Amino acid sequence: MLPTEYILVSLPQRIFDDDPLSSLAATIGRDNGEALPFAIPSFKIGTLDALVQHADDLTKLNAGCEAVVFKVSDSLKAILDGDEEKAAQQKMVNDKPTDHYVRSFQWNKVRYRADRPLGELIENLQKELQNIDNDVKAKFNQYNAVRTNLATLQRRQTGNLATKSLTPIVNPNLLVQDSEYLETHLIAVPTNARKDFLRSYETIAPMVVPRSSMQVAQDDEFTLFAVTTFKKTSAEFLQKCREQKWTPRQYKHVEGGKEEEQREIDRVAKEEKKVWGEALRLGRTGWSESVMIWMHTMALRVFVETVLRYGLPLEFVCALTKTTPKQAKKIKTNLDNAYSYLGGNAFGRDKRGRVTKDDASLTSEMAAAGLNVAEGSEYTPYVYYEFEFP
């Protein structure tokens, strides 16, 4: 499946003799993508200084929207074990496919009243985006913590003798208990070191009870031995075991411990399933909300930059085109060839008729228009944005 890219273009109506949208569609080229009308309300314009500030704020908000949308996408993919197809099924906006929402976008006049100041609308979008980011992040962190806890508990049941729980393995009658002077240690010894252990365990530290070694259990990698020492030399014995790459295991007999461990696994498994469902629902909601906020942000960006570039009276045509990255380059070339003159002295043509940029003139043109193009982005002589969804 080819990747999808969307393009938003705004142009002043005064440059068209015929229907603006039809003329723009012809410039874009039918083979490159369909030009759809993108409706933008008539917002309160305010002062030039305020518009310039709004443009900066919207640039930052747009970057924030993109980051949150991509983070939510990654979270959905992670919770669905990397299954791209299943993750795509969750990416709905208002219970409809994302592409349907984008191509039929309508400004939500109930949620974001168009008669409110632009600064207020931008602030509301910023707060909503931050809340979504925080909620999704918190829930997915909770899920990851529960999943890690469950994996640890399950690993203790299914790992080797050096790591797994000894509760269902060790017979407490094998251990010296309630002695004032003696205690029993459980040592997991690699299978290939078994003979070395039996030959040397009595002498690696003082006051090891001779012939006290007993085999408790064995698996493919380790043999578990019980060894009795005097308490006063226990620490030295355990340290010598570690130096030999033998693993001392902590164990304390608790009545009913085996059943309690299983109950804990069952409880955490139930919690993991519950939090998984909550995270999936919140991820689905987070996708829908963050995409809606992003599209409203894009609408505001187009409006603000259209005012800054083309001035008043505010008469413009805005179109959305769904295309591919390869075709987007062709669309950009077609638009530059048709509308580069809108850039004034900043754009010209070489001897072959190709559009060229005069960087010195471009800087002065931008400053005169009150525009501040972000570092790394390309200035165009018309309002132009590309965006895509993960």
Angstrom distance (rounded) from CA 131 to CA 285: 12
Buried b vs exposed e over 311-348: b needs ≥16 C-beta within 10 Å?
Answer: eeeeebbbbbbbbeeebbebbbeebbebbbebbbebbe
114-125 pLDDT, tens digit per residue, is 999 999 999 999
pLDDT at 148 over 90: yes
User: What strands lie across the sheet with 316-323, from one edge to the other?
Assistant: 35-37, 316-323, 5-12, 383-387
Task: Please give the pLDDT value at position 217.
Answer: 94
Beta bridge partners of 215: 225
pLDDT at 360 over 60: no
Task: Please give the pLDDT value at position 255.
Answer: 63
Q: Are 129 and 261 in contact (CB under 8 A)?
A: no
The DSSP bridge pattern shows strands 247-249 and 214-218 to be unpaired
Name the token pair of 229: 């020492």
pLDDT band at 153 (very low <50, low <70, confident <90, very high): confident
Global pTM value: 0.77
DSSP conformation class of 377: P
Task: Please give the pLDDT value at position 252.
Answer: 79
Task: Please give the pLDDT value at position 169.
Answer: 85
Q: Are 5 and 323 in contact (CB under 8 A)?
A: yes
Beta bridge partners of 8: 320, 385
Angstrom distance (rounded) from CA 264 to CA 248: 25
- Of how many residues is the chain composed? 390
Task: Please give the pLDDT value at position 362.
Answer: 44
Angstrom distance (rounded) from CA 90 to CA 288: 9
299-325 pLDDT, tens digit per residue, is 999 999 999 999 888 899 999 999 999
38-95 pLDDT, tens digit per residue, is 999 999 998 999 999 999 999 999 999 999 999 999 999 999 999 999 999 999 999 9
Q: Are 246 and 196 in contact (CB under 8 A)?
A: no
153/51: higher pLDDT: 51
Q: What is the mean pLDDT of residues 28-32?
A: 92
Beta bridge partners of 357: 347
347/240: higher pLDDT: 240
pLDDT at 372 over 60: no
